[in-house]
Amino acid sequence: MIPLVAIGLLVLFMVLGVPVAWAFGGVLAYLVWAYDTNTATLLLQGYRALDSVILLALPLFVLAGYLMQSGGVAQRLIAFIEHLVRGRKGGLGASMVLSSTIFGAISGTATAAIASVGTIMIGPLAERGYDRGYSSALLGMSSLIGILIPPSITLILFGVVTRQSITALFTATIVPGLMLMAGLVIFNRIHFARRQEGGAPDAAGASPGTARLTLRALPALSLPVIILGGIYGGIFTPTEAAAVAVVASLGIGFFIYRDLTLGRLRQSLVAAGETTGTIVLILLFSFMIGRILAFEGVPQDLTRAVSGITDDHILVLLMVNLFLILVGMVMDDLSVTVVIAPLFVPLMEMQGISTIQFGAIVACSVVIGANSPPVAPCLYMACRIGTVSVHRAVRPAVLMILTVAVPIQLLVTFVPALSLWLPTQLGFQ
C-alpha cells in the first residue's frame, strides 16, 4: 500500500506542477516517514551511488549538446540534409526527422534536438503548407530518436541505476532508433501525399552546391563518427567519449564555424550546469527511494503480484509495456527510467528478458510517454517552438504513436534480436 501511495504522490506532484526534483524529494520524505528509515545511513548510500565515474558522462554530454547548439553545428547539419532530400515528396518533413536523428547521435538529449532543429525547420515547413500542429508533433516524435540513437542520457541513467554496461545499452537501441526514424519518414511521406495540394515535391529554393554544403557540414558530421566509433572501437569509454565530444565541440564552434563566442560559451556552461544539477538531484533522491523500496522487498512483491494475476509470458510482457506507457503519460522520462523501470527488473528476468533488452523496451516506452498528454514534455516543448496550441498537435502525435512507436515497442519486446543482436556481435552481451 505504501509504494502505491508514493507513486500516487509523485503523479499528484507532477500534475500540480511541482518541479521534478522536489517532487522526488517529497516522495522520499513520505517513504522515510512511512518506513521509519535511518536518514543518516540513507544519505551515505545515496552519496556513494553518485560517486561513479560513469556519471561523469552525464554533465559532459549535456554540455556538449549545448555547445553544439550554440556553435553552429545544427544549422550546418540541417542545411546539408535539406539539400539532399529536396525535390522529393515530403522532403522537408523527412529532413527534420533525419536532422533530429543525427543531432541525437551527437547530443543525446531530446530537448536539444527540439530547440536546435525546431527553431530552424518549423518556419520553412509552415511556408511549404505543413500544418504547424502536424509539424510540431513530428518534431516532438523525431526528437526522441536521440534517446534511442546513442549517446543517450536516458540510457546512461538506466545503466547506472541497474548497474548495466552503458556501451551494451547504447548498442541495444540503435536498431530500434533506426526503425523509428524510418517509420516517421514513411509516415510523413504518406501524410504528405494525402494532405498536400497536388502532391507536389517540396521546394527548398536556391542553395549552395552539394560539394560546398558537404564541406561545411563535414566537421559536424564527423562528431557522431568520432564519438560512436571511439566507443565501439574500444578507443575510449562512454565517459571519455563525452569529454572528447566537449573538446571537439569547442574546437568546431570556435575555430571552424566561428559561431561560438565567449558569451555563448558562458550561456552554454550555465545552462548545462542548471540541467546537470537538476538531474543529479533527481538521481540522489531516486537512489535513496530505490534503496528504501529494495530493502522493503517491493520489487519482489511486484513480481509476486503480477505472477498472481497471470503466468502467461505474453500477457506479462504486455502488462509491463502497458504500465510503462501509462506511467509515462503522467510522469516525466526521468521518473520512469530511474524509479519505475528498475522495479520490474526481477520480473523481467524471471520472464527470460535480459536487463539490456529491458533497457531498450523502457527507452521505447519513454518515446511514447514523452509525447502523450497530459504531461507530454516533448510535445509541449515542440508546440512552444512551433507557436501552436498543443490541441492541434495531439491528433497527429497520437497517430504517429499508434502506427509507428507502439508497433516498434512491441517488436522490441517480442523479438529480442532487434535489441540484442548488435551488442552480441560487438561482444558487449
- What pLDDT is recorded for position 409? 94
53-57 average pLDDT score: 78
- Name the percent of the chain in helix, strand, coil, to the closest 5: 80, 0, 20
Give the Cβ contact number of residue 199 at 10 Å: 11
Whether cis (ω within 30° of 0) applies to the bond prior to 151 is yes
Please say whether the beta carbons of 338 and 283 come within 8 A.
Answer: yes
Lowest mean pLDDT of 52-56, 186-190, 197-201, 273-277, name the range.
197-201
Chain-centroid distance, C-alpha 208? 33
In this model, does residue 278 exceed pLDDT 90?
no
Nine-digit cell string for 347: 520480473
Count of helix runs (H) and strand runs (E) in the chain: 25, 0
Residue with cell 509516415: 187
Chain centroid, CA 184 distance in Å? 16
> What percent of the chain lies above the pLDDT cut of 70?
94
The pLDDT assigned to 113 comes to: 76
pLDDT at position 225: 80
Q: What is the pLDDT of residue 194?
A: 63
**How far, in Å, CA of 168 to CA of 232, rounded?**
10
The SS3 call for residue 89 is coil
Query: Does residue 383 surpass a pLDDT of 90?
Result: no
Q: Is 33 helix (H, G, I), strand (E, B) or coil?
A: helix
Rounded distance between C-alpha atoms, residue 422 and residue 170, angstroms: 10
pLDDT of residue 83: 76
Residue 205 pLDDT: 47
Q: Give the 3-state secondary structure of residue 209.
A: coil
Instruction: Determine the angle formed by the axes of helices 2-16 and 20-35, rounding to 10 degrees.
Output: 160
- CA 145 to centroid of chain Cα atoms: 7
- Provide the Cα torsion 417, 422, 423, 424; round to 10°: 70
Residue with cell 552525464: 58
Distance of alpha carbon 386 from alpha carbon 137, whole angstroms: 9
Q: What is the reported pLDDT for 35?
A: 87
| Average pLDDT of the chain to the nearest whole number | 83
Quickly tell me which residue has 552546391 as its cell.
209
Domain segments of the chain as ranges: 2-194+208-425
Q: How high is the pLDDT of residue 171?
A: 92
Residue type present at position 199: G
Kindly list the distances between the CA atom of residue 169 and the CA atoms of 116, 130, 157, 411, in Å, as whole numbers in the listed order: 26, 36, 11, 17
pTM above 0.75, yes or no: yes
With a cut of 90, say whether residue 299 has pLDDT above it: no
Q: Residue 207: is its pLDDT beyond 60? A: no
Rounded CA-CA distance 124/78 in Å is 12
Per the rule left: phi > 0, alpha: psi between -120 and 50, beta: everything else, 203 is beta
pLDDT beyond 50 at 60: yes
CB 238, CB 156: distance < 8 Å: yes
For residue 230, the tally of other CB atoms under 10 A from its CB is 17
